[in-house]
Amino acid sequence: MKACPNKEKNLASCPCTYPGCDKKGICCKCLRFHLSRKELPACCFSSSTEKTYNRSIAKFVQDQKR
């Protein structure tokens, strides 16, 4: 895969706290990965919920009800 030209810019606002994430800052790769697992990426969640690493759609809905 070609290097992401926006990686440094994306990293400035990427809320992912998962240690060792190889997709951090590469939004298209992150989206493909999570959507293929019926999940959403960290940027869809509140900061407290993101830290649980539960990326399920059910958790997203629960998070939005807060």
pLDDT tens-place values along the chain, 66 residues long:
578 999 999 999 999 999 999 999 999 999 999 999 999 999 999 999 999 999 999 999 999 997
Rg (CA), the chain: 12
What's the pLDDT score for residue 66? 78
What's the pLDDT score for residue 1? 59
Please tell me the pTM assigned to this model: 0.87
Cα 6 to Cα 10, 26, 28: the distances in Å are 6, 8, 10
- Name the phi and psi angles at 15, rounded to 5: -90, 5
Own/partner pairs, 19-22, CB within 8 angstroms, 24+ separation: none
What's the pLDDT score for residue 43? 96
What's the pLDDT score for residue 2? 78
